[in-house]
Each structure stands twice: as structure tokens, then as C-alpha cells.
A and B are shown apart, each in its own frame.
Chain A
Amino acid sequence: MLALLYGGAFLLSGAAALAAMALARSAHQSAVTHALLILSGLFGLAASVGYCIELAHGVVRVVPVYATALFAFFVTPLSGFFLALVFLGVTLTSWYALGYLPRYHTHYTLPWLDFATSLFVLGMVGTLMAGQPFAFLIAWELMSVAAYFLIIADGSRESLTAGFRYLLMAQLGFLALLVGLLLLAGGDPFASWAAVAHAAAALPPSARLGAFLLLLVGFGSKAGLVPLHQWLPAAHPQAPSHSSALLSGVMLKVALYGFILSVGLLPAVPFSWAMLVIVLGLASAFFGVLHAVVENDAKRMLAWSSIEHMGLLFTGVGLLLALPNLPVGADAAALTAALTGFVILHALNHSLFKSGLFMATGAVVAQTHTRDLDRLGGLAQRWPLFSGAFLALALSAAALPPTGTFFGEWLLFQPLAIGFRSAAPASSLGAALVLAVVALVGGLAVFAFVKLFSVMFLGRPRSSAAEQAGEMPLLLTLPPLAAAVLVSLSGLLLFPLLAQPERVRLLGLPFASAVLPGAAMSSWGVVFALLGSAAAAAAFYRAFARRTIRITETWDCGAPLTARMQYTATGFSAPIRFFFRALVLSKKTLVVEPVVVTNPWIAKRRLSWATESFWEAGLYRPVGRAAIAISASVRRLQNGAVQFYLALVFAALVGVILFAL
């Protein structure tokens, strides 16, 4: 039954791809394709619910979907969870695409875009279901290449540049994965994962280290880990918004799944490797959130925030990997449970709120035709329901209560804060340092999302585009609203399940309680406390505030207030930019042009300003320059003299003979 449902979901996304091509000339092509994708998502969600119920009854089994000698697809509890995320994301984004894409039918070639979307979904589902390296790599490549076509869908120069960067990183990452997985599998791509794990156990440590590093590079480059992240904020926002939602909300989770899967194939992970994962995760979280704060492009800011959250998830995975090597003694089981709970809850929440935010931002862009935060504003008055949904999503992206993200991150904070008390001083200190970075990241995330919401929705419109934005259609409001409701409920419903030993088995998890004693709290208690304090504040206000309130114009000293007098996104992030100016390099150029040639005092001054990434300037550009310099020096060999070429051939021959002897 489950196999049929999972298989049906898999086939339906393939059918969507076929429908996109077959109906290319029909006006209903896009609607049919996305209806099939929604159906595929619902099938998959039904299967996930069924699987979860089975697990809750204590039946742990692998669901075989399809198996031949060449391909094997099955679902394990781990991939089942990530599949549920994919199907949830696909259902929401395809629902949204039904309202979103018709507005862009002249902008995109819809049949090709929908074809690529369907193949992308097929690739993600295939990657998660893959039962051996061969199927995994084929599906992974399908997903990567289809994503390229999503990124370049609008055909603009910016998209093509971003797409080229993406494709380069994706192919380098694929090569790393190919070599890494084959190294682990002992050269047999058709071996099942169990056989790969068996083969990996027999490998020498150096080969295992090599495979681990290659897999970290492969999956890390897809997940946007520093320093392989630079393509992500350029590429994800260029895709149409429903595709951006899939890329940022869901595809990154597939990369996380791949990493967890491949680490599970290794017999043991030494402490230093786990430290590498933690350090990369923390660096990604920090650089991601830092750039999210200073970024002025709404969609790119969300992409930076994705890097932040993937960094947190990798930090959690790294801590899990480090645990067996730490002298935490009896706490090990509780710590494992808490960190696993964090990875599960945070992956779920991130895919929900990030898809929701991308869809909502896409809806704003569809109405105002700009992604520049400094040209938006004042939208809350016109779209109250939509702004409410956006606010809920922004709150959850900033991990504030009562959204699910708060409870998810709580599960990361509590082991770091109190979990390592009984451990040696060195590991307590390490945990404290990690906690400090995670806390800094959390604070900056609040800053970033306060900026995003307030600049987009509050105040007055900063441009005529924002001022003349029309009514927000219901079809573009509902999917982000659904994501907002789900992410608000996830913490309330899942946290109590994770917290109580007698209920945690309902989720099919093999541990007692994810909440450490001393860090427990009731999620409903948190909500009621928030509601109660809000009610108390309202009552206090009603009791003591002056009754008569006069609403008059703001005193403007005689000069009319304009939208340009408001706080801008650039101004809001200025303190952070100043504080971290060594890491966020900003380039200011002042151009002075005299209006009259003879008088230098009367001049037009233009200030242009841009931020630049630390890694772009410090790593990518030097590497690029070095590559070009080496190429230029090698080119000197090709001087056109036949005698020189003959001498080279002769030298090579002599060299080979000497080597052979």
C-alpha cells in the first residue's frame, strides 16, 4: 500500500513532465502540470502519514518502491522524513504556481519551465528514494541540471551569469560526489547502501578521509556551506518564485539528507572531522545571516538566510557526529535525542517558512515589479491578511516564539547550554563557544527579519510601483498563509510529542525524550503566556490610558513629509555594516561632474555604493586570477615553432622511458 502510494507520487511527477511536453500548445498546460504535481505531493503526503503511523506502532521497515539490478528505490525512516518535506513543499509551491505563473506567461516559456520543474521534483524524489549510489547519482544529476533551467528561466543576462556559476559548482560538486561515493563503495555503483557501508568499513583511514572530504564538498556546495556558498544567493533568487521556494526550501534539505546518509555509511567519524563540520556550519550560519542583514534585494536576502539555516542544521549534525567522541557519559543518549529533535524540527520548519517567504515575496514582486527593499513599503495597509501571513513567516524565520522555529532552535540551545555540564572542561568550553556563535546568529536573524518586514510592509510606499500595487489575489495569499499556519503549529504540536517520553514514540523515533531535564517547557504554556501578557498589556492600557485620543497629521515643521524621509533598508543595516566592515566589504564611489566646465564648485555628485562578500574578494577572485595567470604562462609553450614542439615530444618520450625503466 505504502509502496503504491510512494510509487504513485514518483510516477505522477514524471507524468507532470510528460504532460508539460504533450500539452505544450494547450492553454491549460501549466494548470494540468501543476495539478499533477499537487496530486503527486498529496500521494506522497498520504504515504508519509501512513509510514509515520506504522512507525508509531513500532513497525520499523524499509518500504520497497521499485527494484531491478540497475535501479533500486526504497524508502527508509530517514528518507521518509525528507520525502515528506519534499511533498509538502511541492504541494504548496504548485498550488501557488497555479495563481503565479499565468501572470508571467509572456515572461517565461511555460511548457519548458514546467517541464524543468517536474523533472526537478522527480530528481529530488528519486534522490531521496535511491537505494544505491547509481540511482542516487543519476537522480541527483537530474535534479541539479533541471535546477539550472529553473534558474535561467527568464533568460536575462543576470540569470545566465548566475546559472553558469550554479552549473559550474553543481558539476564540481557532482564530480566530488561521484568520486566520493565510488570510493566508499569500492567501485561498485550498484551495491546497496548496506553493502556500501560494509565496503567502507574495510577501507584504509586515508581513503575514508578522502571520501568524507569529497562528500562534504559535494553536499556542502549544494547546501551552500561556506566557502562554497557564493553561487547560492545569486542563483536561487533568479528562478521564478515558486521555483526559488523549491530550491531554497526543499533542495537544500535533499543535500542535508545526502550528507546524513553518506556520513551514516562511514563506520565511525573521528572528532576532528566532526569539528570541521561544526566549524563550517557555524561559519555558514554567521556569514549567511550577516549578508541577510545587509542585503537590500528581498529574494537574495532570503537566499542568504537559507545559508544561515543550513549552517545551523549542519552544526547540529556536526554536534551529533562529535558526541560519540566526547566524554559526556550518561548524558549521551539525552544529548543525541535533543540534537536529533533539533535537526528534524528545524529542517521541517525551514522548508515551510522559507518556501512560504519565497512565495510571499514572489507575490509582492508580481504586484510591485521590484525586489529592491528601498523601493517598497506601505503594503500592510492594503494587504492586511497577506501581511499577517508574511509577519508570521518572518517571525518564524527569526526563530521567535510561538512559531515552530523557536522550539526547534530551543532544542539546539539546551544541549549547548546545559548538556555538557558533566563533561570535561574542554568540551564545556567548546559548547559554550558554539552557543555564543549560535546566539549571535539568532540575534542577527531577528535584526534581518525586522528589516525585511518593516521596510516592505510598514511606513509609506517608497516608489510609485509600491504605491500603485493592486489588490493581492487570494490564490497568491493562501499558499504562504498555509505555510505560516503550518510553521506556527509545528512547534505547538511536535514539541510536546518530542518532550514527553511516552509520546515520543508516536513520531517513530528511537529515543526517550528530546528535551533535557531542566530545559523543559510547555509549548502551549509559552503561547498562553504570550497571549496572557498581551491581554494584560491591553487591559492595563484600557484601564490607565487617557480615553480621548486625537488623531491628527504628524507635525512636519511646515515641510511636507515624504517617503524619502523614512528609514531605509540601507540605513537600518548601517550599524551592522559598520561593525562588521572587515567582513562585509562595502565599496563607495563618489563621482563629481562639474555642471559648468569653468566653475569647479557647481558640480553634480553621485554616490554609488555596493557591498561585496569577503569570500568573493578574498578567495574566489585570487583563485580566478591565479588560474588565468597559470594559463597565460602555459600558453607560452604554444609558440608556433615546429622544432620546439618536436623537442617537447622528444623530452616527453625520454621522460616516459626513464620512468618506465
Chain B
Amino acid sequence: MLRLLATVLKTGSKAEPVSIVADEHVLGENLRKAVTALCGGRALRIRHVDAGSTNAEEYELTALGNAYYDADRFGLSFVASPRHADILTVSGPVTRSMAHALVAAYEAMPEPRIVVAVGDGAITGGIWKDSYAVVGPVSSLLPVDVEIPGDPPSPRVVLEGLLAAVRSASRK
């Protein structure tokens, strides 16, 4: 007991100091302002469709909700139904199995609607381009407003892409 206490005292605190980069905060603050300008106080509601990705993009999008990025504070929220969504984010090359579901989800969204292709797979088809199972990039089925490159894009890049999408929608 005493030995343990002595060891604790001798070792001291070994944790690394957390360096919070103010950059995300600034980016997020811009995003929040843009969302407020576009949606008038509402949150920007995102419906995500995995059209055949490796799930790498999904991990990064999920990371937007963790304690570090905490995208909710910028006015982003993921919703379950395209009926409630402002933005449709699509990841992965569009496989034949998911093509109808993707178009159905897009059709179900109210206007005005924004389509964001997340990741190289969604933009070009990636390494599955020209596969027999793939219809093509998202742009071959839907009018894509903003493309977020990367395989996968980091949450920070996703936030930048969403900011660009919101700004482009505000200009329209």
C-alpha cells in the first residue's frame, strides 16, 4: 500500500498535454454562421447514404460526432429520413444494388436539396471504377453540388466541404 503510494508519488503525472488546435473551432464557427444564414436558426440536417463504400468514409463521418469535433455545436445533425434532410451525403461508388435506393432517397428529399459526394469512390468510382457491379460515380445519377476528395477525407476536410456546400447553396 505504502509502496504503491510511494511509486505514484515518485512517478508523477505522465499524461501528454492535449493541444487543442483552435483551427477547427474557427472553421466550425464559420460553418455555424453559414448554416444560420442558410437555415435561419435551424440545424443543417444531413441524410447519409452509403452507396457501396468501404466504410472508411462512414468512420470519418461518425468521428464528426465525437467529443473532439462535436459537430452538433456547429448546427449539423444526422437524420434518419430523407424527408427531413437538407443535404444528402453519398459515399462510395454507386453499386447496382444501391442505385435505386440512392435515387429514391434523393427523390424523397424536399427542395432545395444539396448533394455532397464524400470520398474518391463517390467522386470517380475509385479503384472500383468500371467494375461490373458499379453503375458509376454519384454524378452519373444525381446532380452533385460539392465533392469532398480523399480516401477517406478526414473530418476536418469533411467540415470544409460542408462549409463549401452550405455557401454554394446560399449563393443559389
Q: Chain A residues in contact with chain B, CB under 8 A?
A: 550, 552-553, 555-558
Q: Which of A552, A557, A558 contacts B107 (CB 8 A)?
A: A552
B83 close to A (CB within 8 Å):
yes
B107 contact set on A, CB distance < 8 A: 550, 552-553
Given contacts A555-B81, A555-B82, A555-B83, could you give 12 more A-B pairs where the C-beta distance is less than 8 Å?
A: A550-B107, A550-B111, A552-B107, A552-B108, A553-B104, A553-B107, A553-B108, A555-B104, A555-B108, A556-B104, A557-B81, A558-B101
Contact with A along B77-119 (1 / 0, CB 8 A): 0000111000000000000000001001001100100000000
Closest to B106 in A: A552
Instruction: Compute how far the CA of A553 lies from the CA of B101 in the bound complex, rounded to whole angstroms.
Output: 12
Alpha-carbon gap, A557 to B104, bound state (A): 9
Contact residues, B113-130 vs A (CB, 8 A): none
Chain B residues whose C-beta falls within 8 Å of the C-beta of A558 in the assembled complex: 101
Q: Which 4 A-B residue pairings sit nearest by Cβ, starting from the closest?
A: A555-B108, A552-B107, A555-B83, A558-B101
Subset of 10 A-B contacts with CB under 8 Å: A550-B107, A550-B111, A552-B107, A553-B107, A553-B108, A555-B81, A555-B82, A555-B108, A557-B81, A558-B101
Least distance between B92 CB and chain A CB atoms (Å): 17
Hey, which chain A residues are within 8 Å of B81, CB to CB? 555, 557
Quick one: closest B residue to A548, CB to CB? B111
**Nearest A residue (CB) for B110:** A550
Measured between C-beta atoms, what is the minimum distance from A252 to chain B in Å?
51
Q: How many residues of B contact A (CB 8 A)?
A: 8
CB neighbours of A556 from chain B (8 A): 104
Q: How far does the alpha carbon of A1 sit from the alpha carbon of B81 in the complex, in Å?
A: 76
In the complex, A57 Cα to B104 Cα: how many Å? 71
Taking CB atoms, residues of chain B closer than 8 Å to A557 are 81
Minimum distance in angstroms from B83 CB to a CB of chain A: 6
Residues of A contacting B108 in the complex (Cβ-Cβ under 8 angstroms): 552-553, 555
Most buried by B among A550, A553, A555, A558: A555
Give the complex CA separation of A553 and B103 in angstroms: 11
Complex CA gap A552/B111 in Å reads 13
Q: Which residues from chain A contact B101 at a C-beta distance below 8 Å?
A: 558
A555 smallest CB distance to B (angstroms): 4
Q: Closest B residue to A555 by CB, please name it.
A: B108
The answer for the CA separation of A461 and B82 in the assembled complex, in Å, is 28
List the A residue with the shortest CB-CB distance to B105.
Answer: A555
B124 to chain A, nearest CB (A): 27
Q: How far is the CA of A552 from the CA of B107 in the complex (A)?
A: 6
Docked CA distance A220–B107 (Å): 60
Mask of B21-40 contacts with A, CB within 8 angstroms, 1/0: 00000000000000000000
B98 to chain A, nearest CB (A): 10
Name B62-85 residues within 8 Å CB distance of A.
81-83
**Complex-state Cα separation, A556 to B105, whole angstroms:** 10
Contacts of A553 in B (CB 8 A): 104, 107-108
Closest chain A residue to B108 by CB distance?
A555
State the Cβ distance, A230 to closest chain B Cβ, in Å: 50
Contacts of B111 in A (CB 8 A): 550
Closest chain-A Cβ to B127's Cβ sits at a distance in Å of: 27
A550→B108 CA distance, assembly (Å): 10
Give Cα distance in the complex from A583 to B15, angstroms: 75
CA distance A555 to B106 in the complex (A): 10
Q: Which of B4-32 contact A (CB under 8 A)?
A: none
Q: How far is the CB of A593 from chain B (nearest CB, A)?
A: 38
Identify the closest chain A residue to B107 (Cβ): A552
**How far does the alpha carbon of A569 sit from the alpha carbon of B111 in the complex, in Å?**
36
Min CB gap A553→B, angstroms: 6
A356 to B53, CA, bound (A): 61
Chain B minimum-CB-distance residue to A558? B101
> Interface centre among A550, A556, A557, by most B CB within 10 Å?
A557
Complex CA gap A552/B108 in Å reads: 7
**A556 to B81 CA separation, bound complex (whole angstroms):** 10
Measured CA separation A429–B132 after assembly (Å):
82
- Tell me the complex Cα distance, A560–B83, Å: 17
Q: Kindly list chain B residues whose C-beta atoms are within 8 Å of the C-beta of A552.
A: 107-108
A359 to chain B, nearest CB (A): 43
Distance between Cα atoms of A558 and B101 in the complex (Å) = 7
Q: Which residue of B lies closest to A557 (CB)?
A: B81
Question: A169 to nearest B CB, angstroms?
Answer: 57
The CA-CA distance from A296 to B33 in the complex, in Å, is: 58
Task: Provide the residues of chain A in CB contact with B82, threshold 8 Å.
Answer: 555
- How far apart sit A553 and B83, CA to CA, in the bound complex (Å)? 12
The answer for the CA separation of A550 and B104 in the assembled complex, in Å, is 13
Instruction: Determine which residue in B81, B83, B104, B111 has the highest number of CB atoms from chain A within 10 A of its CB, and name it.
Output: B104
Q: Report the minimal beta-carbon distance from A549 to chain B, rounded to whole angstroms.
A: 11
* C-alpha gap A271/B82 in the complex (Å): 68
CA distance in complex: A550, B112 (Å): 12
CA–CA, A557 to B83, complex, Å?
10
* Distance of A307 Cα from B112 Cα, bound (Å): 55
Q: How far is the CA of A557 from the CA of B108 in the complex (A)?
A: 10
Roughly how many angstroms separate A550 CA and B81 CA in the complex, as a whole number?
18
The smallest C-beta distance from B49 to any residue of chain A, in angstroms, reads 11
Residues of chain B contacted by A550 (CB below 8 angstroms): 107, 111
- Smallest CB–CB gap between A609 and chain B, Å? 34
CB distance from A545 to the nearest CB of B (A): 14
Complex alpha-carbon distance, A553 and B82, angstroms: 13
Q: How far is the CA of A555 from the CA of B81 in the complex (A)?
A: 9
CA distance A558 to B50 in the complex (A): 13
Q: How far apart are B67's CB and chain A's nearest CB, in angstroms?
A: 31
